[in-house]
């Protein structure tokens, strides 16, 4: 299958392109700016194009599927106009590009945050979207556009909703040190402290970036007839404090001087207990996550290695 990937140079996109190649697909990678020659030649053809450009829908590039990752992350979304432009206009441009090139399938990378910021209770793909910040609202609107194109019969589409994606970075040029646990590793390595500016009781679901790539490949080969949404998570639930203590434990085992962990707040006072249904991912698309706390620890070690090499 010839697969076109936008956002190919990002945290998830870089691992996804490698996984797709391993699974025998021909991958065409789209970058807003082309990386250096070494990265550019690793995984097949690389194209420079900006999904926000008015000329993007006219790009002539045949394929069997588009995987769209070039939406606004949590940092870009803090700039309201930039987030809207990339996530909504960019997604519409990619949809039009797919239609114009008669590409029958599209996967849009959304976020579990479209269901809410502090999840509590039971959630499935049928749960109502309740975005509570610009990042989530941008992705919710992009999901609506994607579903509309599929409902009109213009293509088949899936919106996938990853939970907290963790892992090391495929290339040194990737800067997603704002993510948990990467941000905790970076602070520990640079300052020998880990500071949580809350009670740390916020509970999250974590999935490895490698598992996200494998699950996406599984969805690609078991595509729905029209449109679907799929939760992408794992059995691994941790509070922010638990994640920080895991980082501290790995750091203390790795280095001579122990790191100091500080909790600076009382809120939230209770954990937000929730459960995310993964039955659709497992039953309809044939992917079941087996990685857990040990993989989380091993990825923390790899992040510390990357910090060592960056010195």
Tens-digit pLDDT string for the chain (311 aa):
999 999 999 999 999 999 999 999 999 999 998 877 545 556 779 999 999 999 999 999 999 999 999 987 766 666 667 777 888 999 999 999 999 999 999 999 999 999 999 999 999 999 999 999 999 999 999 999 999 999 999 999 999 999 999 999 998 889 999 999 999 999 999 999 999 999 999 999 999 999 999 999 999 999 999 999 999 999 999 999 999 999 999 999 999 999 999 999 999 999 999 999 999 999 999 999 888 999 999 999 999 999 999 87
User: How crowded is the C-beta side of 142, counted as CA atoms within 13 Å?
Assistant: 35
Cα(186)–Cα(95) distance, rounded to whole angstroms?
Answer: 37
| pLDDT score recorded for residue 172 | 87
Rounded to 5 degrees, φ, ψ at 222 are: -130, 50
Within 8 A by CB and 6+ apart from 106, the residues are 65, 66, 67, 68, 94, 95, 98, 146, 149, 155, 156, 157, 158
β-strand partners of 236: 206
The runs of H, that is alpha helices, within the chain are 11-22, 37-40, 80-84, 90-100, 134-151, 182-191, 209-220, 240-254, 279-283, 293-309
pLDDT of residue 138: 93
Q: SS3 for 301?
A: helix
Q: What is the pLDDT of residue 35?
A: 76
**In b/e form, how buried is each residue of 64-86, taking b as 16+ CB within 10 angstroms?**
ebbbbbbbbbbebbeeeebbbbb
Report domain extents, the chain. 2-166+206-232
Q: Which residues contact 298 (CB under 8 A, 6 or more apart)?
A: none
Q: Which long-range contacts (CB under 8 A, 24 or more apart) does 116-121 make?
A: 118/202, 118/268, 118/272, 119/272, 119/274, 119/276, 120/272, 120/273, 120/274, 121/273, 121/274, 121/275
Give CA separation, 111 vs 160, 164, 198, 234, 245, in Å.
7, 9, 23, 14, 26
Contacts of 226 (CB under 8 A, 6+ apart): 150, 151, 153, 156, 157
What is the token pair recorded at 15? 């691992």
User: Quick one: pLDDT at residue 10?
Assistant: 93
User: What is the model's pLDDT at position 41?
Assistant: 56
**In angstroms, rounded to a whole number, what is the distance separating the alpha carbons of residues 175 and 30?**
18
Q: How many residues does the chain have?
A: 311
Q: Map residue 102 onto helix, strand or coil.
A: coil
CATH fold, domain 2-166+206-232, is Rossmann fold (3.40.50)
CA 227 to chain centre: 20
Identify whether the C-beta of residue 143 lies closer than 8 Å to the C-beta of residue 129: yes
Cα distances from 152 to residues 6, 101, 146, in angstroms, run 23, 17, 10
């Amino acid at each position: 299958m010839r697969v076109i990937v936008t956002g190919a140079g990002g945290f998830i996109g870089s691992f996804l392109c490698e996984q797709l190649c391993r699974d025998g697909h021909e991958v065409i990678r789209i970058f807003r700016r082309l990386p250096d020659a070494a990265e550019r030649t690793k995984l097949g053809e690389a194209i420079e194009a900006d999904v926000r450009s008015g000329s993007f829908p006219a790009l002539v590039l045949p394929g069997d599927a588009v995987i769209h990752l070039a939406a606004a992350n949590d940092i870009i979304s803090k700039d309201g106009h930039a987030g809207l432009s990339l996530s909504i206009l960019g997604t519409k441009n990619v949809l039009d590009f797919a239609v114009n090139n008669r590409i029958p399938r599209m996967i849009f990378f959304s976020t579990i945050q479209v269901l809410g910021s502090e999840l509590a209770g039971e959630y499935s793909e049928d749960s109502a979207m309740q975005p509570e910040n610009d990042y989530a609202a941008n992705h919710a609107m992009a999901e609506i556009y994607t579903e509309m194109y599929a409902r009109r019969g213009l293509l088949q589409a899936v919106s996938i909703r990853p939970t907290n994606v963790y892992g090391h970075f495929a290339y040194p040029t990737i800067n997603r040190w704002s993510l948990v646990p990467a941000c905790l590793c970076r602070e520990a390595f640079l300052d020998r402290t880990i500071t949580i500016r809350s009670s740390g009781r916020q509970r999250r679901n974590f999935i490895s970036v490698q598992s996200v790539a494998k699950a996406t490949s599984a969805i690609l080969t078991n595509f729905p007839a029209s449109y679907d949404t799929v939760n992408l998570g794992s059995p691994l639930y941790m509070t922010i404090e638990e994640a920080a203590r895991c980082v501290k434990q790995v750091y203390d085992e790795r280095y001579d001087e122990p790191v100091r962990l500080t909790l600076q707040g009382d809120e939230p006072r209770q954990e937000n207990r929730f459960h995310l249904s993964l039955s659709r991912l497992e039953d309809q698309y044939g992917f079941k996550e087996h990685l857990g706390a040990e993989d989380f620890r091993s990825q923390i070690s790899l992040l510390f290695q990357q910090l060592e090499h960056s010195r």
